[in-house]
């Protein structure tokens, strides 16, 4: 990014920093210096600007994003890109639990690993994790796509609705009503497009497996009572 506008959190408050990025006249490219793991960095953005967080981010970085492209040059705490509507967020390191939680749209890319409940209750967001994800990832995921290039922890896709999960590595266990699906040509094309957009070139689409909802929990049935 050239001609970056700089915000130094060693010289201003977090509220002042976010106000600049949320302003109606915010344009172009920005860099946040000295983030030092602060929470709620670059939240509520509503303009097609580029924001680089130069270091570690705390809780909810990039939350409620709309239109902005956010890059975190380090690790991110819980809830990164929470409730994202559009735009993109890239974490150059690892992400803690609940990455992309309740996200409605946009693209979240995590270059490292993600913790537990990655993509919990996702509602249309697309998430690509180059590493592995923790337990109960995509729990109650309603729509959207989670791509895991590494391994997945226990109870993957528990209580899944219509979201799709692609995993290249090992799956520790599947959650209630989640099952492996046959990969169609459309699924492969969709996955390859998503890998390309995320900049993942080292893994071919046909090396992944697809998981989705078995749809047994859509309606109550006494034989499934223990799974509710």
Find tokens 């705490």 and name the residue: 77
- Find the DSSP H helices in the chain: 14-22, 185-198
CB neighbours of 219 closer than 8 A, spacing ≥ 6? none
For the chain, what are the domain ranges? Answer: 113-228
Rounded Cα distance between 146 and 190, Å, is 12
Is 181 in contact with 198 (CB distance < 8 Å)? no
The tokens of 141 are what?
């995921």
**pLDDT at residue 13 tops 70:** yes
List residues bridging with 133 in a β-sheet: 114, 152
**pLDDT at residue 77 tops 90:** yes
Strands 209-213 and 123-129 turn out to be: unpaired
Under the banding of pLDDT at 50, 70 and 90, the label for residue 1 is very low
Residue 95 has a pLDDT of 98
**pLDDT at residue 226 tops 70:** no
Instruction: Express as a percent the part of the chain with pLDDT over 70.
Output: 94
Is 124 in contact with 143 (CB distance < 8 Å)? yes
The rounded mean pLDDT for the chain is 95
**pLDDT at residue 29 tops 50:** yes
Q: What is the pLDDT of residues 111-122, one digit of tens each?
A: 999 999 999 999
**pLDDT at residue 207 tops 60:** yes
pTM for this prediction? 0.94
User: Looking at 55-59, 86-90, 222-226, which range is the least confident one?
Assistant: 222-226
């Amino acid at each position: 990014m050239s001609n970056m506008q700089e915000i130094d959190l060693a010289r201003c408050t977090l509220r002042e920093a976010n106000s600049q990025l949320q302003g109606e006249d915010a344009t172009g490219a920005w860099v946040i210096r000295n983030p030092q793991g602060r929470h709620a960095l670059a939240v509520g953005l509503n303009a097609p600007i580029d924001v680089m967080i130069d270091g570690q981010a705390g809780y909810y970085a990039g939350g409620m994003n709309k239109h902005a492209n956010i890059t975190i040059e380090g690790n991110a705490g819980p809830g990164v890109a929470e409730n994202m509507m559009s735009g993109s967020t890239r974490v150059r390191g690892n992400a803690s639990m609940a990455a992309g939680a309740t996200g409605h749209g946009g693209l979240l890319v995590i270059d490292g690993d993600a913790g537990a409940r990655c993509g919990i209750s996702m509602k249309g967001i697309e998430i690509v994790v180059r590493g592995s994800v923790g337990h109960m990832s995509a729990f109650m995921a309603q729509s959207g796509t989670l791509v895991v290039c590494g391994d997945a922890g226990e109870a993957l896709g528990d209580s899944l609705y219509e979201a799709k999960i692609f995993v290249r590595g090992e799956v520790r266990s599947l959650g209630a009503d989640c099952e492996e699906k046959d990969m169609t040509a459309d699924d492969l094309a969709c996955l390859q497009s998503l890998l390309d957009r995320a900049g993942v070139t080292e893994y071919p689409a046909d090396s992944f497996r697809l998981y989705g909802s078995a749809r047994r929990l859509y309606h109550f049935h006494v034989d499934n009572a223990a799974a509710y």
